[in-house]
Amino acid sequence: MCGHVRGHVRPGAATCGAGHRNYSAAAIIVLADMRPVSNPIPAVRLPTHVSVQAGRVAFAVPGDLATPTGGYRYNRRIIEELRRLGWRVDVLDLGDGFPFPSAARRAAALAILSAAPCGCPIIVDGLAFGALPEAGALQSRTPLIALVHQPLATESSLDTAQADIFRRSERAALAAAARVVVTSEATGRIVIADYGVQRRRVSVVRPGNDTVAPACGSNDGVVRLLSVGSVVPDKGYDLLIAAVAGITDLPWRLTIAGDRTRNLAATARLDADISAQGLEDKVAVLGAVSPERVFELCLVSDLFVLASRFEGYGMALAEAVAHGLPVVSTTAGAIPDTVPAGTGLLVPPNDATALMEALRRLIGDRDERQRLAANASIAAAQLPSWQESARLFAGAIAAVDESRTDIRRPAAHRLLTPAGL
């Protein structure tokens, strides 16, 4: 596989459900046959006579910025690249416990946001912002920019009542945001359709990535599978273990890399499923690893698999494509937008049988894996870097500043309102 992949990827990464039907191989969705989603959120650029001037911005995150998830990694890289562009970025730690903050944590977070300099734009990570609709009261003194990685109500483990609470809370919060930055077009469509956000206030800033080396894979006849993501219900590890349990007649090994501390029930379920299926010798669970270790794991893998029930983007999937790894995943959330056509197989979410059939197909067909890897190298070379993503993010901040000053300009000099980024 080494000779097939070059370039960098736009989106990079770090990291049995009920009602299954017996899908045949024909039911597996091949990405090469997919078509672009109609009516995408249009890419909008500032007029050519307007330069994006670096300024000062606050970036509010819930808890430790070093938390090993895709969302926090996105935040870290955007902050780093904005600073390289000349921006002064003040990081505000809103504390732990979101999106279920205590009353004391909620009050402390609001106090931190209120202490930001008047007029300084505040970017607020959606994990906190969606649970803090009271923060909207600050909009009269400073512009608020919501960064939505994944709407809170889309978490698959929530019951209906809690999902409704989150939906109402986040809808109220987003109504006060001067701009809403989302990390995928799919998430943008959700906030427009379900949360009442006007299209013109939405900016899509997908993750970027650095140049990466191509995966060389294995050479001993055993197909190395890799899955990267925190051990939480949305990642569908219960589905993945159920799927691989049905293909023990094939030569494979699975490595799972992801934080095991974020949902202890999901972690216990994963360990129990591996034990119950007798897969201890075929499945290795590493826990949280560094981005550098993820890079190393990709280099020695043959196939990337993620059984997600929802993805607001799927940075681990995109990084796998960048390395030239064929992908097996689901059609949940933004995944069909993230995984380029012809680079993998997607199956319906919550369907362990369809996932098993897709894995069996690619594990057993080396030529098909190599064909998908070659397609990935072509797609990866066209994807933007973190530097390009940061410039788009800077444009979203500038659009907020422009809208605030627009009403003070003579009509002949006002800019057209962006329709979305």
Point out which residues pair with 86 in neighbouring strands: none
Closest CA to 83 of 45, 57, 62: 57
Q: Same topology for domains 2-37+210-380 and 56-207+385-413, yes or no? A: yes
Point out which residues pair with 254 in neighbouring strands: 225, 283
- pLDDT in the model for residue 2: 55
Closest CA to 37 of 335, 337, 315, 313: 337
Domain boundaries, the chain: 2-37+210-380, 56-207+385-413
- Who's near 399: CB < 8 A, 6+ residues apart? 46, 179, 203, 418, 421
- pLDDT in the model for residue 112: 97
Q: Please, where are the H alpha helices in 44-125? A: 70-84, 103-114
Q: What are phi and psi of 287, to 5 degrees?
A: 80, -165
CA atoms within 13 A on the CB side of 337: 24
Say whether 49 sits in a helix, a strand or coil: coil
N-to-C CA span, the chain:
36
Q: What is the rounded CA–CA span in Å between residue 208 and residue 186?
A: 17
| Other CB atoms within 10 Å distance of the CB of residue 218 | 16
Q: What is the rounded CA–CA span in Å between residue 377 and residue 325?
A: 9
Q: What is the rounded CA–CA span in Å between residue 303 and residue 328?
A: 8
- Sign of the Cα pseudo-torsion (234, 39, 8, 57, in order): negative
Coarse DSSP helix, strand, coil percentages of the chain, rounded to the nearest 5 percent: 45, 15, 45
**Both tokens assigned to 144:** 């608020």
- DSSP states of 175-212: HT-SEEEESSHHHHHHHHHHH---GGGEEE------B-
- Amino acid identity, position 197: V
Say whether 397 sits in a helix, a strand or coil: helix
pTM: 0.83
- Superfamily of the domain at 2-37+210-380: Glycogen Phosphorylase B; (3.40.50.2000)
CA atoms within 13 A on the CB side of 7: 25
**Are 263 and 332 a contacting pair, CB within 8 Å?**
no
- Who's near 32: CB < 8 A, 6+ residues apart? 341, 342, 375
Point out which residues pair with 93 in neighbouring strands: 61
- pLDDT in the model for residue 205: 97
Q: What is the rounded CA–CA span in Å between residue 358 and residue 335?
A: 16
Q: What is the rounded CA–CA span in Å between residue 21 and residue 157?
A: 21
Q: What is the rounded CA–CA span in Å between residue 78 and residue 214?
A: 25
| Other CB atoms within 10 Å distance of the CB of residue 331 | 16
Point out which residues pair with 227 in neighbouring strands: 256
Q: Residue 277: left if φ>0, alpha if ψ -120 to 50, beta else—which one?
A: alpha
**Both tokens assigned to 221:** 């006849």
pLDDT tens, residue order, the chain (421 aa): 454 333 333 333 333 333 333 333 333 344 433 333 334 554 434 333 334 567 999 999 999 999 989 999 999 999 999 999 999 999 999 999 999 999 999 999 999 999 999 999 999 999 999 999 999 999 999 999 999 999 999 999 999 999 999 999 999 999 999 999 999 999 999 999 999 999 999 999 999 988 899 999 998 999 999 999 999 999 999 999 999 999 999 999 999 999 999 999 999 999 999 999 999 999 999 999 999 999 999 999 999 999 999 999 999 999 999 999 999 999 999 999 999 999 999 999 999 999 999 999 999 999 999 999 999 888 888 778 999 999 999 999 999 866 554 433 333 322 223 333 3
The residue length of the chain stands at 421
Architecture of domain 56-207+385-413: 3-Layer(aba) Sandwich (3.40)
- pLDDT in the model for residue 136: 95
- pLDDT in the model for residue 52: 57
**Cis peptide before 99, with omega less than 30 degrees from 0?**
yes
Angle 26-32-34 from CA coordinates, rounded to 5°: 85
Convert the pLDDT of each residue in 284-313 to its tens digit: 999 999 999 999 999 999 999 999 999 999
Residue 333 per-residue DSSP state: T
Q: What is the rounded CA–CA span in Å between residue 327 and residue 288?
A: 21
Q: What is the rounded CA–CA span in Å between residue 190 and residue 188?
A: 5
Residue 8 per-residue DSSP state: B
- pLDDT in the model for residue 35: 32
Q: What is the rounded CA–CA span in Å between residue 28 and residue 329?
A: 10
